Amino acid sequence: PVHPPPGRFSVVGEGDARTVAPANPARYSPLVSVLASLDARRVAAAYTALYPRLQKTYEELGYPGKYFNDRVIHVIDQLLVTPEPAYAVTIKLLELKGDMPSAQPWLRYEFADSGLQALSSGQKMLLRVGGAHRATLKAKLRELRAQIARASVTR
């Protein structure tokens, strides 16, 4: 999310029959490879060591009395239930009102299926990376969740 993947989001088809281009998930391969290579035990150990500072910052951001770890587990759980569409996901280009043409139309796509469009931003990102990458990332999230759940974080 901080540095977009190389290349541009691309689609195939026209009008209501647009789908994500089959080559699009390759844009995410370097990032997925790095994430897949992480040792979940070491990531959890670093998380546990940093937890007091993460918790303090979370409270300072406006969540006093709430636990950062609970939020992390909730987000991981939400990502793990991202749907696995059994069909090519159709997308649509949002229409802009006004006289100024859009210089970056690839930023205006959304899922045509209102159920998919209603998903969280993280879930929509998992849909965009493609099925194989999604499976890899979900497997790593399961590993990480198991390690974090075992770790003793000071509340």
Distance CA 12, CA 16 (A): 11
Question: Cβ atoms within 10 A of the Cβ of 108, count?
Answer: 12
pLDDT-derived band of residue 101, with 50, 70 and 90 as boundaries?
low
Average pLDDT over residues 83-105: 76
Predicted confidence at residue 9, as pLDDT, reads: 81
Task: Check residues 107 and 56 and name the one with the higher pLDDT.
Answer: 56
Average pLDDT over residues 4-27: 87
Distance CA 140, CA 95 (A): 37
Task: Check residues 8 and 96 and name the one with the higher pLDDT.
Answer: 8
Give the chain's mean pLDDT: 88
pLDDT-derived band of residue 154, with 50, 70 and 90 as boundaries?
low
Q: CB under 8 Å to 16, separation ≥6 — which residues?
A: 90, 92, 112
pTM of the predicted model as reported, rounded to 2 decimal places: 0.86
Q: Say if strands 91-93 and 109-111 run parallel, antiparallel, or are unpaired.
A: antiparallel
